[in-house]
């Protein structure tokens, strides 16, 4: 049985999605004393994805299955994973990090790899909060089966929105994709699949300004035309919102370099502007956010942590050697 009373580690990995599990695997291979903290089951967003077709080596694999394989692989190399929610990451004056959790534990390490991803961006319109879980969803895989035979709407125009719209057609009688522009941002192959699906209909240049319903759930969306300003109603039984993610960067106390979206800016070793704090996966500023890029980031971060810790161990020796040289 794992002893969780020991609070000091070589590295603490925050998050156990693809990036976190990959980092844990490499940390184990590097013989580092590592702890991975995940608020739910290992796998992260993989558990909210039905089918994955763009992870090299797997032409088609279920999200939960890939998550399971990754977790098993990490554990094979000794990964220690605890279920808890990280609430704060703070660097102390002595150079070590305190990682505080919701269960009242504080874990310490000289290095942290943050792979906490992000949380769905909300529309911020009336009715969204009131009908959350009652027709408003941010996860098609989680909630799609509850809407069999319904007419649904997906809000967004990127890869996630188009993928989830396609997935929802297995349950819904019709799926509207509501996008504020006149063309999608999703990859061409996903667009082609959506355009070829007879159950999907595109609604261009429209924004949702209110979600309305009754005690039974959602009744319709109120839309505004982005060009003319005209208002209209769209009758739906549910709405799935995929307009982006906000990085979970708020866990870190203190100033750090970030881009306009709040994503961590790192160097080529995945180190942030806070020495010893590394970022990998969706929380990092980059061109695209895929499983492949997440595990690539994590590989670099974990190996960089090994070298960072080695440098820290050598530093006192170098200082001592310099002092002795001065005395001579």
Are residues 115 and 16 located together in one domain of the fold? yes
Are residues 198 and 268 located together in one domain of the fold? no
Are residues 115 and 187 located together in one domain of the fold? no
Q: What is the pLDDT of residues 11-66, one digit of tens each?
A: 999 999 999 999 999 999 999 999 999 999 999 989 877 788 889 999 999 999 99
The answer to whether position 130 is within a domain reads no
Name the nearest CA neighbour of 110 among 281, 312, 263: 312
Task: Report the run of H or E that residue 90 belongs to, with start and end.
Answer: strand 86-91
Are residues 28 and 103 located together in one domain of the fold? yes
C-alpha distance from residue 3 to each of 18, 81, 113 (Å): 25, 11, 21
User: In which band, very low, low, confident or very high, does the pLDDT at 142 lie, cut at 50, 70 and 90?
Assistant: confident
DSSP classification of residue 138: S
Output the pLDDT for position 1.
41
What CATH number did the domain enclosing 86 receive?
3.50.50.60
Catalytic residues: 139, 142-143
The answer to whether position 4 is within a domain reads no
- Which of 179, 208, 241 is at the close of a domain? 241
The answer to whether position 125 is within a domain reads no
Q: How far apart are CA 14 and CA 11, in angstroms?
A: 10
Are residues 109 and 251 located together in one domain of the fold? yes
Q: 0.75 cut: is pTM over it?
A: yes
Which of residues 149 and 328 earns the better pLDDT score? 149
Are residues 146 and 107 located together in one domain of the fold? no
The answer to whether position 165 is within a domain reads yes
Are residues 114 and 152 located together in one domain of the fold? no
Are residues 234 and 262 located together in one domain of the fold? no
* Domain boundaries, position 196: 136-241
CA dihedral 35, 37, 43, 45 (to 10 degrees): -140
Q: What is the pLDDT of residues 240-286, one digit of tens each?
A: 999 988 899 999 999 999 998 899 999 999 999 999 999 999 999 99
Task: Report the run of H or E that residue 106 belongs to, with start and end.
Answer: strand 106-109
Q: How far apart are the first and last CA of the chain?
A: 53
Q: What is the pLDDT of residues 100-119, one digit of tens each?
A: 999 999 999 999 999 998 88
- Which of 214, 241, 268 is at the close of a domain? 241
Q: Specify the number of domains making up the chain.
A: 2
């Amino acid at each position: 049985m794992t002893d969780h009373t020991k609070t000091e580690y070589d590295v603490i990995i925050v998050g156990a999605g693809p990036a976190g599990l990959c980092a844990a695997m490499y940390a184990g291979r590097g013989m580092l004393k590592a702890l991975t903290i995940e608020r739910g089951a290992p796998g992260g967003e993989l558990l909210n994805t039905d089918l994955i077709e763009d992870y090299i080596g797997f032409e088609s694999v279920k999200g939960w299955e890939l998550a399971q394989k990754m977790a098993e692989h990490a554990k094979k190399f000794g990964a220690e994973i605890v279920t808890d929610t990280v609430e704060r990451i703070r660097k102390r004056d002595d150079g070590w990090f305190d990682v505080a959790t919701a269960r009242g534990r504080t874990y310490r390490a000289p290095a942290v790899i943050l792979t906490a991803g992000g949380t769905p961006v909300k529309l911020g319109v009336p009715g969204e909060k009131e009908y959350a879980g009652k027709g408003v969803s941010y996860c098609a895989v989680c909630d799609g089966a509850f809407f069999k035979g319904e007419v649904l709407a997906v809000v967004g125009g990127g890869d996630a929105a188009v993928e989830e719209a396609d997935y929802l057609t297995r349950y819904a009688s019709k799926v509207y994709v509501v996008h504020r522009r006149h063309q999608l941002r999703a990859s061409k192959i996903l667009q082609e699949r959506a355009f070829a699906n007879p159950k999907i209909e595109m609604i261009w240049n429209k924004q949702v300004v209110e979600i309305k319903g009754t005690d039974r759930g959602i009744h319709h969306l109120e839309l505004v035309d982005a060009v003319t300003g005209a208002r209209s109603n769209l009758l739906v039984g549910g709405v799935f919102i995929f307009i982006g993610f906000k990085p979970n960067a708020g866990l870190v106390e203190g100033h750090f370099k970030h881009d306009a979206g709040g994503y961590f800016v790192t160097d080529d070793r995945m180190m942030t502007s806070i020495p010893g704090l590394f970022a990998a996966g969706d929380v990092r500023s980059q061109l695209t956010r895929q499983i492949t890029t997440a595990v690539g980031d994590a590989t670099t971060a974990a190996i960089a942590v090994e070298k960072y810790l080695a440098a820290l161990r050598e530093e006192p020796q170098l200082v001592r050697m310099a002092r002795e040289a001065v005395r001579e």
